[in-house]
A and B are shown apart, each in its own frame.
Chain A
Amino acid sequence: MKRLLFFALLLLSIPGWACDVCGCSGTNFYLGVLPQFQKHFVGFRYRTQRYDTFMSRHHIDQADSRESFQAIDLWVRFYPLRRVQVLAIAPYQFHQQTQGNVVRRLQGLGDATVLVNYKLIDRSRIRDSAHVVKHALLVGGGAKLATGAHRYSETDLSDVANPNFQPGTGATDLVLNGIYTLRVNRWGMNVDANARITGTNAEGYHFGNRVNGSLIGFYVKQWGATAVMPSVGLYAEYARKDHKYGVLIQETGGYLAAATLGLDAYRGNWVVGVNAQLPVQQRISDGLVQAHSRLAIHLSRMF
């Protein structure tokens, strides 16, 4: 099934020419720091990821294709009960693959995720007049739904015949996650871990199970109703290899570790923020896929 493609001008003469390694599944789930954890919010987030794909280790001087995954997420957080948090994210995906002069685009609703977290620890106390210590631990889970389209044709050359390139995975996944936040005065830290136990889609394709996590430190500077929160930290993700009809696909899965930088600004009930992930170590799809820096911008309204 693996196909080699770099003479894009000749594409039209190639039947059923596909590529198995392009990029990662676009449905990566990452929250970042979400402080003000008592409040409901509704917001939009724009995020972008770019990858270079090499069809062979001997092509490392020139990428055979470049993929760009952009998404606009509608995300909502609310507390139906004091200790129960519901998080929902619905992405709209914009995917693009460039191979020589040929550009293929795909857009559509992605896979929505719904999580229900329970606040196991939720304490804030004033130790003395000088120190404010707050910490919270949320654990929970939910599902990544198959709301995104997952169809492609191996023979239609305007399609990117790759399961990774589709807006959705076509399968429902179980999601488990935990978030711990500690804040001492103006300083804080956030640890989160997220695991996805993946399902198999109708085409017999099974994306590998995956985990990601981050450790982020932040600082809050406040002036009346306005506050800014710079943050810095580490992010890592790891994915098992995919299978199709039980057959392992070697050039899938992998890991990425990144440094993260973020800046959030609060004014009244509004939050605007930017977050970047700068890869420091990676091996994606057996080293055939190279991830570039990722960027996310969000605007949210709290209630």
Chain B
Amino acid sequence: MNAIQHIRQRSFGWFLALSLVVSLVACTEQSDPGALVIDPKTNGELTLEFDNVVGGTNLALGKATYKNSFGEAFTVDAFNYFVSNVVLKKADGTTYNVPNSYYLVRESLASSQLVKLTDIPQGDYTGVSFVLGVDSTKSASPVTERIGALDPGTYGQAVDMYWSWNSGYIFVRLEGTSTAVPADRNGYYELHTGGFGGMTGKTVNNLRVVSLTTPTPATVRTRIAPTIHLLVDAGKVMDGSTKISLTSLYKDRTFNGIHSPEAAAKLGLPDNQQGMFMVDHVHNDPK
């Protein structure tokens, strides 16, 4: 074997070794290009994950004690809200309205925190918006058309999220114990927000639209079913643009919690709750 052949063989060995190292550790990791091709003929899935937190920590019902901006300690014993009229926005600015989208998210029911949207056109979605609450048209529709999450009947899913024919659904329900609430009110606070405008008599309209953008696109494909992971900060109910003190709220001995659209609006709850939502991250996981 001559010297050049020898060098060639050695180089080939080194090349092999080097390519092995490169294939193992180098470059950014990504999906195969074939898996990213948009098929306009088949629709896909996208999940909205409502991950309820208080400040920086995971919400633990009844167990953990949190503090509001006034330093008042409180627990969260119930945290439920309605999400409706979901609109997905593509990177090119076009939108897709998810038909008949009404969801009731409960901290006590893990399955309700995953809202799976099916039959979604494939594409790259960079934004999501929804109504926090149940829109006026649906709220005013015959009760026979309000089924599933919207069923206010005795055995319906929305039984504890409905006031009356006129006031309608409770959009956001937050309650729990607090040392700031006097013992004659059982040390229990209740902040219930609703109000779609009223069926028979006019009420205040507390519906709010939440619009969010995603840090990275959610790529709906044949084999990719993304999850948009939202963080919903229950602490913002008291600590939004309006800071709420339970001590001053419950100072009046006749006060028994927020239970009407007008009271919720006066306290600034709808705007506070509009600011509860943020997108933490997007998973573009395979189906």
User: Closest CB of chain B to A207's CB: distance in Å?
Assistant: 13
Q: Which of A2, A13, A246 contacts B227 (CB 8 A)?
A: A2
> A1-B225, A209-B24, A251-B283 are contacts. A58–B113 as well, Cβ < 8 Å?
no
**Interchain CB contact under 8 A, A1 and B110:** no
Nearest opposing residue in chain B for A15, CB measure: B111
**Interchain CB contact under 8 A, B24 and A240:** yes
**Interchain CB contact under 8 A, A246 and B108:** no
Nearest opposing residue in chain B for A196, CB measure: B24
> A211-B25, A238-B25 are contacts. A1–B287 as well, Cβ < 8 Å?
yes
Assembly CA distance A11 to B287 (angstroms):
21
A225 interface residue, CB < 8 Å from B?
A: no
**Interchain CB contact under 8 A, B283 and A5:** no
B208 interface residue, CB < 8 Å from A?
A: no
Assembly CA distance A57 to B29 (angstroms):
21
A249 interface residue, CB < 8 Å from B?
A: yes
Q: Which of B20, B227, B231, B287 contacts A195 (CB 8 A)?
A: B20
**Interchain CB contact under 8 A, A62 and B110:** no
**Interchain CB contact under 8 A, B111 and A17:** yes
Count of A-B residue pairs with CB < 8 Å = 106
Q: Which of A6, A11, A61, A247 contacts B35 (CB 8 A)?
A: A247
Q: With a CB–CB cut-off of 8 A, which chain B residues contact A59?
A: 58
A3 interface residue, CB < 8 Å from B?
A: yes
Q: Which of A4, A7, A197, A245 contacts B108 (CB 8 A)?
A: A7
B93 interface residue, CB < 8 Å from A?
A: no
**Interchain CB contact under 8 A, A58 and B56:** yes
Interface residues of B in 267-287 (CB under 8 A from A): 280, 283-287
Nearest opposing residue in chain B for A209, CB measure: B24
B94 interface residue, CB < 8 Å from A?
A: no
B175 interface residue, CB < 8 Å from A?
A: no
User: Closest CB of chain A to B283's CB: distance in Å?
Assistant: 5
Measured CB to CB, the residues of A under 8 A from B are: 1-7, 10-11, 13-15, 17, 20, 56-59, 61-62, 176, 195, 197, 208-211, 238, 240-241, 243-251, 253
| Top 9 closest pairs, chain A to chain B, by CB | A246-B32, A247-B286, A244-B286, A246-B35, A1-B285, A248-B31, A59-B58, A14-B111, A7-B110
